[in-house]
Amino acid sequence: MPLLATTLLALCAAAPQPAAARQAVPKEHPRLFGTRRHLAELARTRAEAYARVVETARGRDGDTHAKLFSMGLVAAIENDRALGRAAVERALAIVRGPIKKGHAPFGCDLACAAVAYDLCHAHWTEAETAELLKYIDATVDANRNSETHVFHNGWYGYKNWGIGLAAYATYHENPRAPRYAAAIEEEFRARAAPALELAGAGGGFGEGYYIHYWLYEWLVFCEAARTCEGVDYYAMAPSFFRNRAVASMFEMYPGIGRYGSRRPVPMGDGGGRVFGGDRDKALAARRILVNRFRDDPAHQAVHAFNETTPRSSVGVYAYMDFLWRDTSVVAADYTRFKLSHFSPGPGYIYARSSWDEDAVYFFFKCGGRFTAHQHLDLGHFNIYAGAELAGDGGHYDEFGSDHDVNYHLRTIAHSTILVLDPDERWPAVRAGRVTGNDGGQAHDWPHHNGAAADAAAWERDRAKYDIGAILAFEDNGAFLYAAGDASRAYRKAKLEHFTRQILYLRPGTFVIFDRVKAARREFKKTWLLQAMKPPAETPERLVITNGAGRLFVQCALPRKRVINCAQGSALYAYGGRSYPPARDTGPAPECRIEVSPAEAAAEDFFLNILTATDASAATVPEAQVRDSPEEVVVRLPEATIAFTKDRVGGTVEHGGKRYGLAPKTPEARRAHTDSTAGRPAH
C-alpha cells in the first residue's frame, strides 16, 4: 500500500508526534498567507497589484481558482461581508458537488475551498463549516490511493497541495486536519524529497515541462506550511529547491512575448507552444523561491530577471503579483549572470549567447527516466534565435493517442539518432497501441504512466531507468562543451553505443559530433533535425528560416550520405503508416530532416555544423573538415576542434589557447563503469 495511504490511516488513529522547532498553528483566521494585518500592509505597499486583485474580486470573470483567491483576499483585507458571503457561496458549490477522485483536480477544489474558508472564516455558518469538513474528509478518504507516484505531477499538483491547504485552513476545527498535515510531511520526507533530489538535482526536473503546471501550487502549500507551522519543505530537498529558480530562469526562451510573458522551452509533454497561464505560474514560482532565498546572489539575479515581466500576463492572476512580487529583494545585474546551467538530476544543459532578448538559446538533454511525461528523446536539443529554429516534434493531442504513442513521444519526433532493426517491436506505450517501428529508443512501460513509484523503487530497478548520462559540461565563456551517452536508451540487440558531443561556440555555432555503432551493419542509422520550417537547399548547406531567425546546417559526415526532408503529408509518416495529430497544439516543426549514410557500416560518425543567426544573414563561414581513422578535425574561423573517434573527447583551440575535451562529470564515471547496464533487452 502506498505510504500516504498507510500514513493517513495510522495518523488518523493516533496523534502526530511533535517535530523539532515546530511552532503552534495559530487559531486566528486568516493564517494561510499571514494575518489580516499582514495582508492589509501588503495592500498598502503593493497598491497597484492590490487594485487589480480588487478588480478581479468584484468584477472580472475568471476561473474558480482566480476568483476565490481574489475574493477571499479582498474580503479579508476590507472585512467585506457581502464579498465574503459571495466567496463562501462559490466555495459551497465545490463542497456540495460530487466527490472527485483519481486523476481529477480534486486538489485544486480542496485548495480553493480551504482558501475561501480561511480568508472568509467569519462569514461561514456552523452548518456550512460542517459541510466543508465532511467534504474534505470524504475527498481525502476517496483518494488515499490516488496519485501516489511522486515523480509524477499528480502527487504535488492534483493531490497534496490541496489536502495540505485544507489541513492548515481547518486545523483547529477538523480533528483529522493535524493528521493530514503530519502525513503529508512524513510522506514528503520519506518519498517525495528523495525523488526531487534524484530527478531534480540542479533545479530541472525529469518530468520536463509539466513542472510549470504543478510546481507553483506545491510552493503555495510550502509557504502556507512555513507560515502556519514553521515547516521548511525547501530544506528537505535543497539541491532541487535552491536551484529551481535559476533552472526556471534558464528554461525561458529569449524575448518577451504575448501579454508580457515568457515562453518556456518544450521538454516532453505539454510544451506550451501557445500562450497559457502556465507562464504566470512559472513566474510566480520563481518569485516564491526568490523571496525565500533572497540573500543568495543567484536568486537576486533571478529577481532582476523576473522584474522584466513585472505583471502576470493573465489579468485575473493579479493575486499572484500581490502575494509574491516582493520588490524589496535586492536586484542583481542579471545581464552579467552566468550563461549556462547544468541540472544533473534530469540531465539538462541550458545555454545562451547572452541575456539580451535577441540572444541565441540552446537546450540539450540526456538523463534518466522517471515518468511518462518524458519522451524517448535522449540526445535531443533545441535551438532558438529570434524564433524557434530546431524544435520538439509532434503534437500532444491526447495522452496515449495514436499520434502520441507512434510519433509525438517517440524518438523520430526529436533531434537525435535512429537505428532501425526491421524486426524490433515495441510493447504498449502509455495506454496507447504501438504500431510504428521508428528505429528509436525504447522503454519497458511498467504501467500507463511509465514511472517508478518513488526514489527507492527507482533504485531497486535502476537498470530500467538509469539510461542516459551527461558525460561533460564545461563553459569557459567563449564556448561550451557538452557530451552525453544515450547508448542505454536503445535496445542492446541493435545498438552498441551512441554518444553525442556538442561544442557551442558563442554566439551561435554548434558543432555536433556523434559516434554511433550498431549491432549489425545493415541496421540503418539516421541523424534527425526537427526543423521549424522546411529548409532551402544550397550546394553547401541547408538553410532554415523562421521569422526573425535563421539556422544554417552544414552536413559534413558521413561524406557519402542521403538527405531526406519529410514535410507536408510525409511529416508524420514512416514505415508505410501515417500518424497525423488529431489536433494542432501550436507551432511545431514542419520538416524532419533525415541524414543517413549512403553505405552500410557497423559504425558511423555524424558531424554537423549548425549556425544560428538573425534572418538577415545571407551566409556563414563554411567549416573545413579533415577525417582520419583516429580523429575528426573541424576548422572554423574562430576555433579548431578535434574529436577522437575511439572515445568521447578531443581538443579545441580557441583564442590562442588549447583546451582538452574529456568526460568529467560523476555521471560520466558511472556510465563508463558499466556501459551496458540498464539497456533494454528483447
Query: Does residue 594 belong to any structural domain of this protein?
Result: yes
Model confidence at 4, in pLDDT bands (50, 70, 90)? Answer: very low
pLDDT on residue 428: 80
Contacts of 160 (CB under 8 A, 6+ apart): 4, 107, 184, 187, 188, 218, 221
Query: Does residue 24 belong to any structural domain of this protein?
Result: no
- 326 with 358, same domain: the answer is no
pLDDT on residue 17: 36
Statement: residue 551 has pLDDT above 50: yes
- 548 with 596, same domain: the answer is yes
Q: Which residue intervals of 177-233 are DSSP H helices? A: 177-187, 193-199, 211-229
Q: How far apart are CA 32 and CA 396, in angstroms?
A: 36
pLDDT on residue 343: 98
**Alpha-carbon distances, residue 29 vs 76, 171, 221, 222 (angstroms):** 9, 11, 17, 18
Q: Which residue would you say has higher pLDDT here, 303 or 271?
A: 303
Statement: residue 635 has pLDDT above 50: yes
pLDDT on residue 60: 80
Q: Which of 336, 370, 393 is the last residue of a domain?
A: 336
Model confidence at 680, in pLDDT bands (50, 70, 90)? Answer: low
Closest to 667 (Cα-Cα) out of 502, 488, 499, 471:
471
pLDDT tens string 368-401: 999 989 999 999 999 999 999 999 999 999 999 9
Total structural domains in the chain? 2
pLDDT tens string 221-262: 999 999 999 999 999 999 999 999 999 999 999 999 999 999
**Alpha-carbon distances, residue 36 vs 33, 41, 110, 323 (angstroms):** 9, 9, 22, 13
- 303 with 361, same domain: the answer is no
What is the pairing mode between strands 577-578 and 524-531?
A: unpaired
Q: Which residue would you say has higher pLDDT here, 4 or 152?
A: 152
Statement: residue 16 has pLDDT above 50: no
Query: Does residue 529 belong to any structural domain of this protein?
Result: yes
CB 468 within 8 A of CB 489: yes
Q: Torsion-angle region of residue 268: left (phi > 0), alpha (psi -120 to 50) or beta?
A: left
pLDDT on residue 194: 98
What is the pairing mode between strands 360-365 and 381-385?
A: antiparallel
- 563 with 454, same domain: the answer is yes
- 532 with 383, same domain: the answer is yes
pLDDT (mean) for 328-347? 98
pLDDT on residue 6: 36
Q: Which of 285, 302, 336 is the last residue of a domain?
A: 336
Q: How far apart are CA 78 and CA 83, in angstroms?
A: 9
Q: Which residue would you say has higher pLDDT here, 156 or 665?
A: 156
Q: What is the CATH number of the domain that holds 381?
A: 2.70.98.70
**Alpha-carbon distances, residue 610 vs 171, 347, 553 (angstroms):** 58, 22, 5
Domain that holds residue 197: 34-336
Statement: residue 505 has pLDDT above 90: yes
- 326 with 347, same domain: the answer is no
Closest to 279 (Cα-Cα) out of 320, 219, 322:
320
**Alpha-carbon distances, residue 125 vs 120, 121, 438 (angstroms):** 11, 9, 61
- 383 with 478, same domain: the answer is yes
Statement: residue 591 has pLDDT above 60: yes
Q: Which three cell numbers stand for residue 242?
A: 535552491
- 345 with 213, same domain: the answer is no
Query: Does residue 613 belong to any structural domain of this protein?
Result: yes
Query: Does residue 41 belong to any structural domain of this protein?
Result: yes
Closest to 220 (Cα-Cα) out of 128, 317, 343, 89:
317
Neighbours of 619 (CB within 10 A): 12
- 327 with 354, same domain: the answer is no
DSSP secondary structure code for residue 568 in this structure: G
pLDDT (mean) for 277-291? 97
3-state helix/strand/coil string of 647-663: CCCEEEEECCEEEEECC
pLDDT (mean) for 436-453? 86
Count Cα atoms within 13 angstroms, Cβ side, for 297: 4
Q: Which of 283, 314, 336 is the last residue of a domain?
A: 336
Query: Does residue 427 belong to any structural domain of this protein?
Result: yes
pLDDT tens string 404-431: 999 999 999 999 999 999 999 987 888 8
pLDDT (mean) for 503-507? 98
Sheet-wide strand order for 509-518: 469-475, 479-485, 495-505, 509-518, 603-614, 549-557, 542-546, 536-537
Residues in the chain: 682
- 274 with 359, same domain: the answer is no
What is the pairing mode between strands 577-578 and 591-597?
A: unpaired
Query: Does residue 614 belong to any structural domain of this protein?
Result: yes
- 308 with 405, same domain: the answer is no
Share of residues in the chain with pLDDT > 70 (%): 94
Q: How far apart are CA 479 and CA 405, in angstroms?
A: 37
Query: Does residue 7 belong to any structural domain of this protein?
Result: no
Q: What is the CATH number of the domain that holds 95?
A: 1.50.10.100
Q: How far apart are CA 632 and CA 648, in angstroms?
A: 12
Residue type, 201: A
pLDDT tens string 59-76: 989 999 999 999 999 999
Q: Which three cell numbers stand for residue 659?
A: 583546451
Model confidence at 637, in pLDDT bands (50, 70, 90)? Answer: very high
To the nearest whole number, what is the mean pLDDT of the chain?
Answer: 93
- 298 with 388, same domain: the answer is no
pLDDT on residue 431: 80
How far the first Cα of the chain sits from its last, in Å, is 31
